[in-house]
Amino acid sequence: MACQERLPTSFRAKIEQPLPQEVFNKMAMYDIDQYAPIMMRFFKEENIAEIWKQNRSGVFVLVISYNICKWSGQLGPKYREGDFQAPEGFYTIQANQMNPYSKYYLSFNIGFPNLYDRIHGRTGSYIMVHGACSSVGCYSMNDRNMAQIYAFARDAFRGGQKEFQLHAFPFRMTDANMQRHHANPHYKFWKMLKEGYDFFEINRKPPRISVYDKRYIFDHFTNKASVAVAL
């Protein structure tokens, strides 16, 4: 983002697209500043990407949901390079992971493998959220929606957010859905993801996420100004 002024005019125009007026109207309704911190949640089974922003009282509010155009593989985590699986878990995106030069319109790297993935021997690289509605292991949006997702991240970074969380789930982790998938071989892993899902559902604030004894741990931030993943 620091080199933004050096981008060719065509790239600058692409990454500077404003959010739609209806999005600004909703943010005003919920007392949300344009440059406030964000977080994202992706749900494979529902094909939904959610964008949440922090309001002036510190609570995160769902601003908009987008259809995921394509994601690769089946329900379940990514294990190895070349398995064409879109990851599941908790990821951190910083400004240097944003890519205005993407051949898939616009993109950002989600940061797979994170610490949890590496501890479990999971491999892969260049796992993106991108446009162009095509996927070989990524989460792909249509270009219009990708431009808006990129704009949310752009504005949050300009507002001072150092990194934001992306929570990638196989489905909405409700008790009913967990029961429906009880026999799935990934159920134990999903029970752990549900702890992070429930934390956010209850608190409406991203948890502080760390890894201990080969599992995710979720806790409150002691510094309310900090919104990050310790991965």
Residues with catalytic roles: 130, 138
**What is the 8-class DSSP label of residue 170?**
S
Q: How far apart are the first and last CA of the chain?
A: 22
Pairing of strands 98-99, 107-109: antiparallel
Cα separation values, 176 from 172, 182, 196, Å: 9, 10, 17
**What is the 8-class DSSP label of residue 20?**
P
| Cα angle 82, 88, 90; round to 5 | 125
Q: d(Cα 80, Cα 220) in Å, to the nearest integer?
A: 31
Residue showing tokens 């294990």: 79
Beta-carbon neighbour count of residue 136 at 10 Å?
11
Helix (H) or strand (E) run with residue 75 in it: none
